[in-house]
Chains A and B, each alone.
Chain A
Amino acid sequence: DVKVTQSSRYLVKRTGEKVFLECVQDMDHENMFWYRQDPGLGLRLIYFSYDVKMKEKGDIPEGYSVSREKKERFSLILESASTNQTSMYLCASSYGGTQETQYFGPGTRLLVL
C-alpha cells in the first residue's frame, strides 16, 4: 500500500512567517507534487518534481518554493506567508512513467492570520 504522509494536518501561521510543509512517500516514487485545493477551483498544481533536486513550476508557483533533497521527501516553502495562501495543501506522488496514478497524502489545512 502506498503511503504519503504530510507533517501536519492543521497549521496556523501569521502573515510574513516562513512556513514549511513536509511530505514523505514510502513507495520509491520518482514524481512528487504539491497542490492546493480551494472551493470552486479544485486542485491546482503549485510545483512538481520528477527527480531529486529537480523541480518544475505548476500553474500557481508564485509565493512558493520547493525542495527535494531526498527521493522520498518533498518540501513546500512559503517564504513569507500571506492571507491568500490560506488553503488546503495536498502532496502526491507517482511512478516516473506516463499514465501513472498519483497517490495523495491527507492534506494540511493552513490558516494564515
Chain B
Amino acid sequence: DQQVKQNSPSLSVQEGRISILNCDYTNSMFDYFLWYKKYPAEGPTFLISISSIKDKNEDGRFTVFLNKSAKHLSLHIVPSQPGDSAVYFCAASPYNNNDMRFGAGTRLTVKP
C-alpha cells in the first residue's frame, strides 16, 4: 500500500524552463512533507520541506506547493539547469513521529 505516489517516473525539460514534479498522498495523518534529490551512486540529499500549516515554501529556484484538500504537493524548479538532472523523491511523515514514507521517485532530465 503506497501512501505516497509519484505517478510520473520520468520528466524531461529544456534548460531554463520550469520543471514541475508532482506527488500525491493518501494518509491524512501526514503533516510534514519533503523533497529529496538523488544522484546515481549517492544517498538522497534533502532539498526542501513544507509543514501542513503552510501552502507554499520557497528556497531559491525551488518552491514546494501543498494542497491539503487534494492531498497533493508539487515541486517547481525555475529555471531548470542541467545539474538538476537527478531522481527526485517525495516523502511524508505524520505529525507525531518520524515514520517517513517515500514515493517511487521521478527521474528529471534537464537538456542543455
B43 near A90 (CB under 8 angstroms)? yes
* With A101-B34, A106-B41 as contacts: A31 and B105 at CB distance below 8 Å: no
**Stretch touching chain B among A36-44, A62-70, A73-81:** A36-44
Number of A-B contacts (CB under 8 A): 66
Q: Closest approach, in angstroms, between the C-beta of B75 and any C-beta of chain A?
A: 15
Instruction: State which residues 30-46 of B face A: CB under 8 Å.
Output: 31-32, 34, 36, 41-46
B86 within 8 A of A: no
B43 near A104 (CB under 8 angstroms)? yes
Chain A residues within an 8 Å CB radius of B31 = 99
B34 near A43 (CB under 8 angstroms)? no
Q: How far is the CA of A107 from the CA of B96 in the complex (A)?
A: 27
Q: How far is the CA of A106 from the CA of B34 in the complex (A)?
A: 19
Residue from A4, A99, A104 having most chain B Cβ neighbours under 10 A: A99
Chain A residues within an 8 Å CB radius of B32 = 98-99
A40 near B41 (CB under 8 angstroms)? no
Q: Closest approach, in angstroms, between the C-beta of A61 and any C-beta of chain B?
A: 13
* With A40-B9, A103-B46 as contacts: A98 and B97 at CB distance below 8 Å: yes
Closest to A96 in B: B98
Sort chain B's interface into a size bin: 20 to 34
A19 within 8 A of B: no
B93 within 8 A of A: yes
B100 within 8 A of A: yes
B102 within 8 A of A: yes
A100 near B98 (CB under 8 angstroms)? yes
B25 within 8 A of A: no
Chain A residues within an 8 Å CB radius of B49 = 99, 101
- With A90-B43, A107-B43 given, can you name 4 additional A-B contacts, CB distance below 8 Å? A42-B89, A98-B98, A104-B44, A106-B41
Can you offer 11 A-B residue contacts whose CB atoms are under 8 A? A35-B102, A40-B9, A42-B4, A42-B104, A96-B98, A99-B31, A99-B95, A101-B34, A102-B46, A102-B91, A102-B100
Q: Which A residues are within 8 Å of any B CB, using their own CB?
A: 4, 9, 31, 33, 35, 40-45, 48, 50, 56, 58, 90, 92, 94, 96, 98-107
